[in-house]
Structure 1
C-alpha cells in the first residue's frame, strides 16, 4: 500500500496526477482548483486497481479506505451514512483531447450505502476489460499495458434539469457558438441518447454580451430519475414534455461557466452539467474530440499573380483536397515546372525550334490558391514560341519518335527505375539529406512521368471529342443505330487496370464463397480486422495470400496525388470492404463478362455503322476510329502508374520525420509534410549527428546542441501544427474550377473555351438541371450518395449515384456499387469517365457544383448522352 493511501480528495488532484487518478479525475481536480462548482468527490487511485490484481475483488485495505472516505463524503454533505453518489470510471487514457472514451466505461448513478459503493467500484474496474472498451482502445492505438483504472465517487446532484454543453459548435467547428442540450431529470437520458433534448445555441462572438440565437424545444418523452436501487427511466409528466427545460437566464449562466472552463483548459470543452433547485453544478468536462476546424471567413479566390487565369484541370484533378506544404513545393511548384522545362528542351531538340517555358509561364505552371492546386491557363506566346509550335506540327512524326514521349519504352521504365532505387535504399545508412533528396527526386520523376505521357494523353484528349463531333455530322449521324450516340458508346469494352483489379477481387470472392467457414468469417468480420482474422483462420491462407498479392499489385493507387495522403495499400480496409460486399452479394455479371459483352456490343455498333456509310465516309471513319481506339485506352493505363512512387516516398518521409521527432524538432513524424524543404534542411543541419547522419553513427548528445541552436525546439512543431490545422479548415472549402470566375484558357491572344474544366451553364444555382460533360452514355434515375473523401467510402450504397468532387484510381471499388457518376470537375478523359465506361454506367462530369447542390438521398436523373443531371427536388430515396 502506498504511504499516503489509495484515496485522494478531488481538491488534492491536478493534471500532473493523470497516471494516478485517470483523465476524468485529473480534469475535475483542475476545475476545482479553478473555482468551478464541482460536487465533492474522492478518487480511488490506479494503485488500488493494481493492488486488486487489475480489477479483481477489492483487498481489505482498499475496502477500508473506500468505506472511510464514503463516510467522510456523507459528513461533508450533512447526509449521514447513505449519501447518494455517482460512481464513475476514470481510466488513464480517458477524457483526453485525442480520445474521450465517451460511453466506453461505466458510470453508476444514485448509489447509496457502503456495500453498494464497493460493488460499483468493482464493476467500474471490470468495465475496463469490457468488449466495447477493448475495441475502442484498439481503434485508438492504445496499448493495454498502458491503461489503468481509477474511480471517482462523487456526491450525486438531484438534478431537476441536466445535460451537456459544448463551448464550440461540434457540427461546424464554429468557436463563437455554445451549444447546450438539456432535458428533465438526471443527465443519463441525454448522454445515453434515450431522449431528444432541447437545444439552445448561444452566440459568444462578443463574450461580454452572449446572446441566445437559436432554441429548439423537443418533445422530451422520458426522463431519468433516482430510485432506491439506482435510476430508472419514466414518462415525463405531460405538462413538461413540450416545456423548455432551460430558461434563458440559466442558459446564459451555463454559457459563461463553459467559457471559463474552456479558457482555463485552453481548448473547446464538452461539459456535463446539472441544475438542482436553481444551482448549477459541473459533473465532468473533457476536450471536444473530433471537433472540425473553425470555419474560415472571408475566403477570396484570387489569382496568385494578378492578371493570370488558373484552372483545376489536368494533373490537379488528382488533387481533390488542399495540399500539404511539402508536396506543393516539391511537386506542384518545383517538379512540374522543371518537368515542363525539360519537355520544352526535348521538343526544341526534336524540332530545332525554341521553347522557353519560363518565358511562356513566368508565373509557374502550378500554384495553390487557398491551399488547392491549380494549373495556369495563361500562356505568353512570343513569335519564337509561335514558330516553335508551328514547327511541332510540321514535324509530328519526329515528335512521336522521340524517347521523351515513348511511354512504353522510356517514360514508364525510367520512372520504375527511380522508384525501385528509392524503394530499396537502406534507411540505416542514408543521411537526412539523402532522404530529402530522395523525396524531391521521386516528386520530380512523377512530374516528368506526367509530362512524358502528354503525347498519349493529348491524343486521347484530342481524338475523343473529335470522334464525338464526327458522330454529330450528317454522314455518321445518319449511320448510327440510335440518335445521340457519342464517342463513349464506342469507347467501351477495353481492358484496363481497374477492370483487372475488380476481376481479381471477384476471383477471391469466389474462393471465399466456396468455403462456408470463410464466408461466415468474411461477412462477420469488420473490414479493418479482416486480414488478421484470415491469418488466424486455418483455411484463410490462400485468400490472405491473394489479398496480399492484390495489394502488392494495386496498392500504390492514390486517393490524392498529394504524397501526404496514404495510398490504398497502407490501409487495406477499402479493399477488404469491397471483398466482403462481393462475397455477400455476387454480381449478376462479373468484370470479365461485362468487358466481353461491351466489347461485343462495340464491335456490333462499329459493324452496323460501317455498313451504312459510303466508301469515302467509311474510309475516313476507319482512319479516325483506328487512331481513337489506339490512344483511348492509354488514359487509364497511364494514370495507373501516376503516384506509384509514393510508397517509396512515404517510407523516406516517415524516416525523416522520425529523426526530426527524435531531436524534438517535431512532435509527430507525419508533421514533416507540413514543413518546407528549407525548414527541413535547416533542422537537419542544426540537428547535426542526430537528425542528419545515418542511424548507426548518431551522437545522442547532439540533442541538447540542437535545442540550443534552434533556440525554441517547438518552433517547427508549432508551425507544422498551424499548417495542419489550416489545411483541415480549408478542406471544407469548395474550390471554383476557374480563378477568376470568368477567366478563360489563353494561349497568346487566343481563348480556348473547349479546354475549360466545366462546360458553360453548369453553375446556375436556381436551375433544377446541372450541365456537365457527357462522358459515359446511358440514362438512369436513382438516389444520390455524396462522397466527400475516403472517410465517407463506407456510406456508399449499392444502386446509388456516386456524387463527388472528382475521383482518383483508388476510388475504383466504389464504381462496382454505383448506378452512375456525377462530379464537380473532370472531363472525357478524367479517371472517372474511363472507369464509368468500363463499368457501363452513365456519367456526367465537370458540373461545377454538384456536391454543393446535391445531398445524399436526393433523387437524380443522370443522362450520360446529353450531359445533364436533373435534380428531383421533391423526391428523396429512403435509403441510398
Structure 2
C-alpha cells in the first residue's frame, strides 16, 4: 500500500522517487546525525493521486510536452491553466487525513516551513532549486493543507516549465513531494558552499550570512556578509551593511523589519561560528562525496542545517598524481575546440600524446568534464620555464593563458610540486638539438621553398601507406595497429616537420623586432601584417580558396545552388546528380575531398564527422561565399595580397638600406623575409598530416563498429564513440566487463551534462579557474578588449556564429565566433572582419585573418554574448578591441 506521508527518520537518499531531492537529502542527513530540524514529507504518491483526480490534467500535460522552452507566451497561458486547475481542486480525504495526523504527531503547537521537493530537484546533474514555492511560519492545519496544494501547483510555474523543456525533463514524468519541517527562528542564517562557486576552488568554504530568516538573502532584499575559510582559517571577510531582516509573525507568516543602525554593519556570524560552520560543511561534503550548497541557520547558539544539495555548476577536477598545486592548461583552448570530446576521442588523443608522458607515475595529459588538460607543472616549477612559458603562450595561443600562469607561479603550494627530473630534461634537449641545428642551417643557407616542397613530397604518401596497412587487417589486430600507429605518429612526424617550423617562428620574432626598431610600434606592426598576406604553402588557406572555387562552380548552375540549400548527407550525391550541373559540381567536389576531405570543424575529436563523411557541412560556407564574394574574387584577393606582401618587402628593404649599416640590415632582413614567407605557411601542415592519419584510424574503427553491430554486440555504429580504445579491444576479444549498452547510455547522458559546462582556459588541481584578465590600456569606454591579431579597422554588421554549419554570412558582415579551427576556414572568404573569444597571435584564426588581410581581434572574452547578432560593430585590429556602435 502506498504511503502518503514519510517522516525524516524513515527517509534516506534511496527515497528520491517518493520524496524528491530536498526530502531525501533531509532524511539522509537526519539519519547521518547532522543537526536537521525534524519533520515529514508528503510523498509523490499523494501528488500523483491528487492530479489523477483532476480530470483536465492529462490533456494539459499533453499540451505542455510539445512546448518550446522559449515560447514564453504559450508557457504562461498553459501554466496558468494548470495552476488554476490544481488550486481549485479538492484534496482527497485519505491524503488530507494522513497529513493532519503527521502534523499532530510532530506538534500542533509548532511553526513549520512548507517547501516543494521535486523528483528532478537537487540532483548531481541538475538543480531545480527555487523554482517551486516555499511557505514559512505555517502554524495551522488548514493553512498547512493550503500551502501543500500551492506547492503542488508550483511545479507548473512559468520558470519551472521552461527549465524542464530546455533540460529535457518530461512534464508528466517529474513528480513533486512536499517537505514539512519544523521552523527554527534564527538570529543569523545564510548559505554555505563547500567549494568557491565563483572560481571553482575546492576545499574553500564560501559563506554568506545575514540577520533573521534566510529568505531575506535568497530573495535578494539584503546584501549578506561574505566569509571564506580554507583549512580551518578565515582567509577572507567582507562585512556588508544589512539594513533589513525577515522575521516570523506570532500569528504565522513573516514580515520585513528594519535593523537598528548600530547593528547594520555588525559581523553577522562570529569567527568561532564561521570556522565551526565550515567544518560542518566539510563533513556533509565528505558524506555525499561531492561539493554541497547548504542552507543553514544559527539559533540559540546552535547551528542547524536546513538543506543540502550538490553544486551543479562546478567544472570537474581531474585526478592528478603528485603533491603540491598543479596548473592545468586547456588543450581545447590551444586547439580551438571547447566542446566535450567523446570517450573514444579522449582515448585517441591520450594515445597520440603518450610520448609526452614524463614518468610512469604521472601524466602530462589529464581529462575532466569531457575535455583534456595539459599538466606542465613539473616543468613550470623551474624558474627558467616560468620566464619563458608565459611569453610563448602569449604569442602562440592566448594572452590570458599567459597572465593566468603568472598568477599561479607566486603561490607557495605551487612551488611544492614535484619538479621534472634533470635526466628527462637532458633527454628532451638531446631529442630537439638535431632539429634546432637543421633549423639554423635552413635560416642561414638552405632554399626554404625547395625545403617546403621536399617536406610535402616526403610526407604526402604517409597516410596512403597507413590506409593500406589498416585496411588489410581486422578485429583485435586492427585496433592494436591503430593504437601503435597513434603512439608512433608524433615521434615520426616531429623530426621531419620541427626544423621547418623552428626556422619560421624565430624568424617572425626577429622580423617583428627589426620592424619595430625601424618604424615604431604601430607602423612596424602594420608592415609586419602586410608581410603575412597570402603566405604560400598554407594548406588551410588553400582549402578555403578551394571552397571558393566550389562556390564558383555552383553559382553557374541555379539548380545546384537550390539543391544545396536542401541537401542532406544521406542522399547528398544521389540528389546532386539529378540536377542540372550536378555532375560538374560533383567532379569539383570529389577533387576537393581527395585533398581536403579529411578535415572538419572540431577535428581534434576523431568522433566528429569529416567533410568526406558529411559533405553537407560544406554547404553553409559555399552559400555564404556565393552571397558575399563575386566570381573569382577570392583568387584575385589572394593574388593582391601576394603582390602587397612583395611590395611591403621591397619598401622595408629600401628603407633599411638607407639606415646606418643599412646594407647589412637589409641583407639580413631579405634573408629572414625569404625564410619566413616560404615556411610560415607550413605552420598548418603538421596538423593536416595528423588529420590524414586520424581519418584512416577513424575509418578503421568504424569498420570494426559495423562488424560489432552485425554481431549484435553494439546496437549502433556510433556507440563505439563512447568506448575507449582499450574497451573496444576488450569487446573484440570477448572480455569486456559490464553491460555495453548501459555504459554507452550513461556516457551519452554524461556528455549532455558536460556540454553545459564552460571549460576554463587555465585551472588548478584544486578546481580553481584562473581568469588572467588582460588589463585595459586606454581603450574606449565600453570596448571589449582582446588581442590585436590582424591589422586594420573595419565597421560592419556582426554575425554571431557558434557552429560553422549554422553560418549564414552576407556581404560586409563581421564573423564573431567563440573560436575557429581549420574547419572554419571556408567562412573567411566571406567575412569582412573577425572577432573570437579565444586565441592569440599564432592561433588559426589570427594566421588566416592576416593572410586574407581582414582585421581581427582574438581573445575577446564573452564576445558572442556581449555582441548581439546583427549589431553594428567596429573591429580595431591595430589596438585589439571591439566597439559596439549600434
Q: TM-score range by the shorter chain?
A: 0.5 to 0.7
In the alignment, is the contact (CA less than 8 A) between 2:328 and 2:764 conserved in 1?
yes
Alignment of 1:143-542 (within 5 A): 164-165=63-64, 170=69, 180-182=75-77, 205=118, 213=131, 252-253=152-153, 255=155, 268-269=169-170, 296-300=312-316, 304-305=320-321, 306-312=324-330, 316-331=334-349, 333-338=350-355, 340=356, 358=358, 363-378=362-377, 379=379, 380=419, 382-384=421-423, 398-400=437-439, 413=458, 416-422=461-467, 425-426=470-471, 430-448=473-491, 451-452=494-495, 453-473=497-517, 475-477=518-520, 482=523, 484-485=525-526, 487-495=528-536, 496-515=538-557, 518=560, 531-542=573-584
Whole-Å separation in 2 of the counterparts to 1:780 and 1:788: 21
Whole-Å separation in 2 of the counterparts to 1:559 and 1:330: 17
Residue 115 of structure 1 is matched in structure 2 by none
Task: Decide whether aligned partners of structure 1 residues 249 and 548 sit closer, same or farther in structure 2, where only a CA change above 3 A counts.
Answer: farther
Does structure 1 residue 650 correspond to structure 2 residue 662?
no
Residue 718 of structure 1 is matched in structure 2 by 742
- Partner-residue secondary structure (3-state), 2:77: strand
Shift of 1:470: 2.6
For residues 256-280 of structure 1, the C-alpha deviation after alignment (integer angstroms, 9 at most, x for no partner) is: 89999x99xx9832569xxxxxxxx
Whole-Å separation in 1 of the counterparts to 2:733 and 2:427: 45
Residue 676 of structure 1 is matched in structure 2 by 724
In the alignment, is the contact (CA less than 8 A) between 2:541 and 2:825 conserved in 1?
no
Whole-Å separation in 2 of the counterparts to 1:587 and 1:312: 39
In the alignment, is the contact (CA less than 8 A) between 1:366 and 1:374 conserved in 2?
yes
Aligned residues: 591
Given the two structures, how large is their TM-score scaled by the length of structure 1? 0.57
Task: Decide whether aligned partners of structure 1 residues 718 and 570 sit closer, same or farther in structure 2, where only a CA change above 3 A counts.
Answer: same
Shift of 1:651: 2.0
Residue 243 of structure 1 is matched in structure 2 by none
Whole-Å separation in 2 of the counterparts to 1:369 and 1:37: 47
Residue 277 of structure 1 is matched in structure 2 by none
More helix by share: 2
Whole-Å separation in 2 of the counterparts to 1:295 and 1:554: 44
- Partner-residue secondary structure (3-state), 2:878: coil
In the alignment, is the contact (CA less than 8 A) between 1:322 and 1:372 conserved in 2?
yes
In the alignment, is the contact (CA less than 8 A) between 1:308 and 1:376 conserved in 2?
yes
Whole-Å separation in 2 of the counterparts to 1:640 and 1:477: 36
In the alignment, is the contact (CA less than 8 A) between 1:419 and 1:442 conserved in 2?
no
Shift of 1:618: 1.8
Deviates more, 1:370-379 or 1:809-818: 370-379
For residues 587-626 of structure 1, the C-alpha deviation after alignment (integer angstroms, 9 at most, x for no partner) is: 2762221111111111111212221222233233223323
Task: Decide whether aligned partners of structure 1 residues 362 and 656 sit closer, same or farther in structure 2, where only a CA change above 3 A counts.
Answer: same
In the alignment, is the contact (CA less than 8 A) between 1:499 and 1:592 conserved in 2?
no
Whole-Å separation in 2 of the counterparts to 1:447 and 1:295: 40
In the alignment, is the contact (CA less than 8 A) between 2:796 and 2:813 conserved in 1?
yes
Residue 773 of structure 1 is matched in structure 2 by 787
Residue 605 of structure 2 is matched in structure 1 by 562
Whole-Å separation in 1 of the counterparts to 2:727 and 2:524: 60
Residue 881 of structure 2 is matched in structure 1 by 869
Residue 230 of structure 1 is matched in structure 2 by none
Whole-Å separation in 1 of the counterparts to 2:459 and 2:689: 12
In the alignment, is the contact (CA less than 8 A) between 1:757 and 1:846 conserved in 2?
no
Shift of 1:564: 1.0
Residue 816 of structure 1 is matched in structure 2 by 829
Shift of 1:645: 2.2
- Partner-residue secondary structure (3-state), 1:564: coil
Q: Give 1:784's match in structure 2, choosing from 795, 798, 815.
A: 798
The gaps in structure 1 that reach 5 residues or longer are: 1-30, 41-153, 188-201, 216-246, 273-293, 341-356, 688-708, 745-755
Whole-Å separation in 1 of the counterparts to 2:748 and 2:868: 28
Task: Decide whether aligned partners of structure 1 residues 486 and 255 sit closer, same or farther in structure 2, where only a CA change above 3 A counts.
Answer: same
Whole-Å separation in 2 of the counterparts to 1:674 and 1:851: 30
- Partner-residue secondary structure (3-state), 2:325: coil
In the alignment, is the contact (CA less than 8 A) between 1:178 and 1:203 conserved in 2?
no
In the alignment, is the contact (CA less than 8 A) between 1:639 and 1:809 conserved in 2?
no
Residue 598 of structure 1 is matched in structure 2 by 641
Alignment of 1:133-144 (within 5 A): none
Shift of 1:547: 1.6
- Partner-residue secondary structure (3-state), 1:780: strand
Does structure 1 residue 546 correspond to structure 2 residue 588?
yes
The gaps in structure 2 that reach 5 residues or longer are: 1-47, 83-114, 123-127, 134-146, 174-309, 380-418, 443-447, 657-661
Deviates more, 1:617-626 or 1:563-572: 617-626
Whole-Å separation in 2 of the counterparts to 1:534 and 1:396: 48
Whole-Å separation in 1 of the counterparts to 2:747 and 2:601: 21
For residues 711-767 of structure 1, the C-alpha deviation after alignment (integer angstroms, 9 at most, x for no partner) is: x6xx222112222222222223222222239999xxxxxxxxxxx998843899998
- Higher normalized contact order (CA 8 Å, seq sep 6+, divided by chain length): 2
- Partner-residue secondary structure (3-state), 2:734: helix
In the alignment, is the contact (CA less than 8 A) between 2:834 and 2:849 conserved in 1?
yes
Task: Decide whether aligned partners of structure 1 residues 502 and 423 sit closer, same or farther in structure 2, where only a CA change above 3 A counts.
Answer: same
Residue 572 of structure 1 is matched in structure 2 by 615
Residue 665 of structure 2 is matched in structure 1 by 617
Whole-Å separation in 1 of the counterparts to 2:776 and 2:120: 43
Shift of 1:842: 1.2
Whole-Å separation in 2 of the counterparts to 1:207 and 1:397: 59
Task: Decide whether aligned partners of structure 1 residues 362 and 588 sit closer, same or farther in structure 2, where only a CA change above 3 A counts.
Answer: farther
Task: Decide whether aligned partners of structure 1 residues 476 and 166 sit closer, same or farther in structure 2, where only a CA change above 3 A counts.
Answer: same
Residue 130 of structure 1 is matched in structure 2 by none
- Partner-residue secondary structure (3-state), 1:645: helix
Task: Decide whether aligned partners of structure 1 residues 397 and 741 sit closer, same or farther in structure 2, where only a CA change above 3 A counts.
Answer: closer
Deviates more, 1:507-516 or 1:823-832: 507-516
In the alignment, is the contact (CA less than 8 A) between 1:311 and 1:739 conserved in 2?
yes
Task: Decide whether aligned partners of structure 1 residues 728 and 651 sit closer, same or farther in structure 2, where only a CA change above 3 A counts.
Answer: same
Shift of 1:634: 0.9
In the alignment, is the contact (CA less than 8 A) between 1:557 and 1:809 conserved in 2?
yes
- Partner-residue secondary structure (3-state), 2:691: coil
For residues 354-395 of structure 1, the C-alpha deviation after alignment (integer angstroms, 9 at most, x for no partner) is: xxx625x96333222322222233314555566667768976
In the alignment, is the contact (CA less than 8 A) between 2:313 and 2:757 conserved in 1?
no
Given the two structures, how large is their TM-score scaled by the length of structure 2? 0.56
- RMSD of aligned alpha carbons: 5.2
In the alignment, is the contact (CA less than 8 A) between 1:303 and 1:309 conserved in 2?
no
Shift of 1:811: 1.0
Shift of 1:337: 2.4
Residue 103 of structure 2 is matched in structure 1 by none
Task: Decide whether aligned partners of structure 1 residues 659 and 434 sit closer, same or farther in structure 2, where only a CA change above 3 A counts.
Answer: same
Task: Decide whether aligned partners of structure 1 residues 852 and 211 sit closer, same or farther in structure 2, where only a CA change above 3 A counts.
Answer: closer
Shift of 1:565: 0.9
Whole-Å separation in 1 of the counterparts to 2:424 and 2:470: 42
- Partner-residue secondary structure (3-state), 1:311: strand
Task: Decide whether aligned partners of structure 1 residues 397 and 310 sit closer, same or farther in structure 2, where only a CA change above 3 A counts.
Answer: closer
Q: Give 2:820's match in structure 1, choosing from 801, 807, 812.
A: 807
